[in-house]
Amino acid sequence: CSNISLCWTKSTDISRAKKFLREYDQQISSVYTAFVTAAWNFNTNITEHNRRIMVNRELASSMKEKELAHRANAEFDWQRVRDNDVVRQFKFLTDIGTAAMKNETKLKRLSDVKSEMSSIYSSAKVCLSDNQCYSLEPGLTRLLSKSRDYEMLLEAWVKWRDATGRHLKPLYSEFVELINEGFRDGGYNDAGDAWRSTYESETFEEDLERLFTQLKPLYYQLHAYVRRKLINIYGEKYFPSSGHIPAHLLGNMWSQTWNRIFDILKPYDIESVDVTATMKQQKYTPLKMFKVSDEFFESLGLEKVPQSFWDHSMIEKPKDREVVCHASAWNFYNNKDFRIKQCTDTTMQDLVTIHHEMGHIQYYLQYRNLPTIYQNGANPGFHEAVGDVLALSVSTPKHLKKIKLLKTAERSKEADINFLLSQSLSSVAFLPFGYLMDQWRWSVFSGETTPDNYNKKWWDLRCKYQGISPPVKRTEEDFDPGAKYHIPANTPYIRYFVSHILMFQFHKALCKEANETGPLHTCDIYQSKRAGKLLGDVLKLGSSKPWKNALELIVGSREIDAKPLMEYFKPLIDWLKEQNSNETIGWNEICPNCATINSSVFLSSIFAFLSFFISLLLC
């Protein structure tokens, strides 16, 4: 401490520090409530008026964070306070990210650009050659799930990207400049550096690489099986010799999960574990779907959602206004208001998504009495894993029979393989996508990927890690990452890769706690108060302890480990290897249409060659 006079006035007194923290909590929670309320109003009614209010409230929230962080550093030598919890809270509240941005005009511009990108993405519509116009939900989502018409799927895939990514590219490159400036003012190298710091681990990137490498063989086997099935349906001519699968045939706009084409991949012709049809027959409403999920949490002895949840949530797409349909869970930071916004469709996929969102709500409920600064997941992957863990139990034939969505749930090798394949189409197919999204973004934030090769880098990663290829040539006028919600919404994504591994570790631990003794994939923790207690105790910690402590509490180990995932899918891996015995496993890293040709570069090189050739002829 160089300047002794400053040092002398900086306090290390614990009771003074705790008094400041109480003031901090009271002030920051009220600006957060004001901002979240404005964001909710914009997301559930996209108007310029609501957008402006949200931007102003976000600015006010950043100003308050900046003011309180400044006071904390000026009044306290907080690193030297002799109370670990006080130091942890000060560490978090003085780390304010882009709120530290010196230039307030640019900070407002950052918020404006983000909300403009959100408006473009969420209001995008696409008119197809069937003379129908569709939004993403439910129209294009249903089409991508159900259509088996190659050309129809292709038109929807291309036009969605024309309506979103193409319009977002200039805004996104400006956004990257601004967010990096903000995080640099906040003490980070760039936005990616700041995002990775939330995992409090020096070896985070290496750990991810190791986990992905460990899981690759399983993904390669699944890819080979699915490719064979799709070739049989659509014909060899659509499949490049490089071994890639055309991106638009996998039942999802981003090829991130493949469970919607389970019906054409199903190995054995027995009762389908995709209960969408039964849900429709039984006239399942969105409200009924949410009640099923809430009841599952309650059966574990966890919290039911409060009445205000039912009063204020938006669980169906309104007919009279534009909304952000992408499902999300909301904490209003006032210990009593928690909501979900979802344009619910009556499908099994949406029942799983509801559990995902209700998992966030359960976390909010469990940590609502903690200081606001601790109202986060132990790490972001924890927050994403909660709902998905319960969904592993809900989707078992055993459970679906319990809630009368399946008639039989006989245990047989065929039934097991059908079920495991269906589960792998959500959890295993997702892994490379969950991994590559932020590989792309971190490379953009670091400057390694610049606006003139955004799309090339995107398809290099998609081709390399997912083994999928764009069905038509892509150029740098396209901006395909912008066709995925989390890019314009600026939501980090590696959390979903982490959660897809954590959720199997949690599942294994909770199944043991629930005395479920069969194979891991048949376990259903429904009504186990012991499992619920163990999970609840971890969620109550919020981010008050390092995440490795929270992990150790639930699974007994401090490391993220892919072994439970591999154990869960073991029967399927053996079966796939048999099925693929004469398949070429894998693909060439470079795929057709992927190496996006930058049209201006391409034309100028053609021109240069021709003029050289003509000059040769002349002389």
Ligand X SMILES: C[C@H](N[C@H](C(=O)O)[C@@H]1CCCN1C(=O)[C@@H](N)CC(=O)O)C(=O)N1CCC[C@H]1C(=O)O
Nearer to ligand X, 244 or 356 (CB): 356
User: Applying CB under 6 A, which part among 71-79, 208-216, 351-359, 392-400 lies near ligand X?
Assistant: 351-359
Indicate whether 383 belongs to the interface with ligand X (CB under 6 A): yes
**Partner touching 255 among ligand X, Zn ion, none, CB below 5 to 8 Å by kind:** none
Nearer to ligand X, 497 or 575 (CB): 497
Nearer to ligand X, 333 or 587 (CB): 333
**Partner touching 500 among Zn ion, ligand X, none, CB below 5 to 8 Å by kind:** none
Residues 610, 607: Cα–Cα separation, whole Å: 5
Smallest distance, Zn ion to C-beta of residue 281, A: 30
Q: What is the largest distance, in Å, between two alpha-carbon atoms of the chain?
A: 90
Indicate whether 500 belongs to the interface with ligand X (CB under 6 A): no
Smallest distance, ligand X to C-beta of residue 489, A: 6
Indicate whether 490 belongs to the interface with ligand X (CB under 6 A): no
Q: Of residues 58, 65, 181, 357, which has the active-site annotation? A: 357
Tokens 């493949």 correspond to 258
Q: Which residues contact 363 (CB under 8 A, 6 or more apart)?
A: 377, 382, 383, 386, 539, 542
**Partner touching 353 among ligand X, Zn ion, none, CB below 5 to 8 Å by kind:** ligand X
**Partner touching 272 among ligand X, Zn ion, none, CB below 5 to 8 Å by kind:** none
Over its C-alpha atoms, the chain yields an Rg (Å, rounded) of 25
Indicate whether 328 belongs to the interface with ligand X (CB under 6 A): yes
Helix (H, G, I), strand (E, B) or coil at 314: strand
Nearer to Zn ion, 65 or 384 (CB): 384
Smallest distance, ligand X to C-beta of residue 494, A: 12
Tokens 């990207």 correspond to 161
User: Applying CB under 6 A, which part among 10-18, 72-80, 350-358, 592-600 lies near ligand X?
Assistant: 350-358
Q: Is 217 exposed, middle or buried (0-12, 13-18, 19+ CB in 10 A)?
A: middle
**Partner touching 328 among Zn ion, ligand X, none, CB below 5 to 8 Å by kind:** ligand X
- Contact code string over 250-289 relative to ligand X, x by CB under 6 A: ------x---------------------------------
The contacts found for 298-302 with CB under 8 angstroms, 24 or more apart, are: 299/526, 299/527, 299/532, 300/525, 300/526, 300/527, 300/528, 300/529, 300/531, 300/532, 300/535, 300/536, 301/529, 301/532, 301/533, 301/536, 302/362, 302/365, 302/366, 302/532, 302/535, 302/536
Nearer to ligand X, 92 or 238 (CB): 92
Q: Of residues 116, 174, 205, 486, which has the active-site annotation? A: 486
Residues 285, 344: contact at Cβ < 8 Å?
no
Between the alpha carbon of residue 7 and those of residues 17, 77, 78, 543, the distances in Å are 15, 7, 11, 30
Write the single-letter amino acid at 409. Answer: A
How many residues contact Zn ion, by CB under 5 A?
A: 1
Catalytic residue flag (residue 357): yes
Residue from 333, 496, 526, 568 that binds ligand X (CB under 6 A)?
Answer: 496
Q: Which of residues 365-424 bind Zn ion (CB under 5 A)?
A: 384
User: Applying CB under 6 A, which part among 38-46, 164-172, 244-252, 322-330 lies near ligand X?
Assistant: 322-330
Indicate whether 491 belongs to the interface with ligand X (CB under 6 A): yes
338 CB-side CA count, 13 A: 21
Smallest distance, ligand X to C-beta of residue 326, A: 6
Indicate whether 474 belongs to the interface with ligand X (CB under 6 A): no
Smallest distance, ligand X to C-beta of residue 35, A: 13
Q: Would you put residue 98 in left (φ > 0), alpha (ψ -120 to 50) or beta?
A: alpha
Residues 125, 135: Cα–Cα separation, whole Å: 5
Residue nearest to ligand X (CB): 328
Residues 82, 12: contact at Cβ < 8 Å?
yes
User: Applying CB under 6 A, which part among 41-49, 53-61, 310-318, 325-333 lies near ligand X?
Assistant: 325-333
Which H or E element spans position 317? none
What tokens appear for 86 in the block?
């006080």
Nearer to ligand X, 38 or 327 (CB): 327
**Partner touching 491 among ligand X, Zn ion, none, CB below 5 to 8 Å by kind:** ligand X
- Three state DSSP letters for 423-439: HHHHHCCHHHHHHHHHH
Tokens 């006239």 correspond to 283
Residue nearest to Zn ion (CB): 384
**Partner touching 399 among ligand X, Zn ion, none, CB below 5 to 8 Å by kind:** none
Q: Which residues contact 305 (CB under 8 A, 6 or more apart)?
A: 294, 338, 358, 361, 365
Q: Which of residues 353-382 bind ligand X (CB under 6 A)?
A: 353, 356-357, 360
**Partner touching 457 among ligand X, Zn ion, none, CB below 5 to 8 Å by kind:** none
How many residues contact ligand X, by CB under 6 A?
A: 13
Beta bridge partner(s), residue 468: 245
Return phi, psi of residue 593, to 5°.
Answer: 65, -10
**Cis (ω within 30 of 0) for the bond into 138?**
yes
Residues near Zn ion (CB under 5 A) are 384
Residues near ligand X (CB under 6 A) are 256, 326-329, 353, 356-357, 360, 383-384, 491, 496
Active site positions, annotated: 357, 486
